[in-house]
Structure 1
């Protein structure tokens, strides 16, 4: 008996009706190098779908079920994921700058090697996502929990990180330069691998209970005219 292969669209402009048909059949499709620019996919059931090097600029996935979905090398600036279900989804590479993830359901989500400048992660539902080698500058990420996570190569420069929980987190080759760190918790965090540029001695109390390097301590004390040897 010949088994049906999952739907695969390649290098074409897929129509909304085609996507809706696949969703009704409850099949997980793969889209490779397809043009979905500006397309409205709100509310579609796309669990397990793969988007590979697709143009998703300005597309809407608002309220869509994207559980276990994979976005690989896609261009998606300005796309909307409001209240979307992204549990165990993966975003690998690509440009997701200025995307709107407000109210999305995150759980075991992995972001790696992607550009998320200016993205809005406010009011996320759920916790637990991994970020590695990502540009998160100017992003809005208030009240998120990174407790006991290891952050590798993440640039949070000028990001809004108000009230985030970084307790026992480890920073490796990261940047917190000029980020908004008001009311963040860093107890037990290892900040030796983080660029703390822009932090003043008066702000240092935010890092109470964290581990910093001698070089970082020297930078802070230099504001009082002191030197550390």
Structure 2
């Protein structure tokens, strides 16, 4: 079983917000860039990359906006400070990405059935995202934020959740005995989701 490392959590990454004008691309790569394997400071807008093979490619300080990457292959892909805004990311196996400098941001994304198992994701921010049945087993989410996120049947098992902010998350269920939750923040409405294993009813 893959377990999170004992390294100290990284500081929160600043979202990438500067892109040279020639690197702001809409819907398709220009022919000159089709074979490119490494992308730095690129802004991709409206791309349909569903089922695309992104294996082995590296993205550094990039942003995907209103893109569809559902079912894309991420084996050995490098995501180094990459933001996803309004993207469809259904079923993506982020766990297959390179661990080196892995860093992501998510805003208004569909992340249902995605897997982050075993990843180092301290300080990662999820905002306005759907994470139905997403897998965070053995993931380091220290000081992460799930702001206004929907978490039905999301998997938290042997997950580092110290300082994680769930105060505005919905449909959260996790077993405190199977996760590290010291300092995690919850809303009172989340209490039933923490007591599910005990068969208790909170009315």
**TM-score band (shorter)?**
0.7 to 0.9
Q: How far apart are 1:140 and its partner, in Å?
A: 1.4
Within 5 A, what are the aligned runs for 1:1-229? 6=22, 10-11=26-27, 18-20=33-35, 23=36, 44-104=37-97, 105=99, 107-124=102-119, 127-178=122-173, 183-192=178-187, 195-197=190-192, 199-200=194-195, 202-203=197-198, 220=200, 222=202
Distance 1:190 1:129, change over 3 A: closer
Distance 2:168 2:178 in 1: 23
Distance 1:187 1:149 in 2: 13
Distance 1:151 1:87, change over 3 A: same
Q: How far apart are 1:155 and its partner, in Å?
A: 1.6
Q: How far apart are 1:63 and its partner, in Å?
A: 1.9
RMSD: 3.0
1:107-144: CA deviation from partner (whole Å, max 9, x where unpaired): 44211110000012223256442211111111111122
Distance 2:85 2:21 in 1: 24
Q: Which runs of 5+ in 2 are unaligned?
A: 1-19
Distance 1:8 1:187 in 2: 42
TM (norm. structure 1) is 0.67
Q: Which runs of 5+ in 1 are unaligned?
A: 24-43, 205-219
TM (norm. structure 2) is 0.74
Q: How far apart are 1:202 and its partner, in Å?
A: 4.6
> How many residues get paired?
182
Instruction: Find the structure with the greater CA-based Rg.
Output: 1
Distance 1:181 1:56 in 2: 38
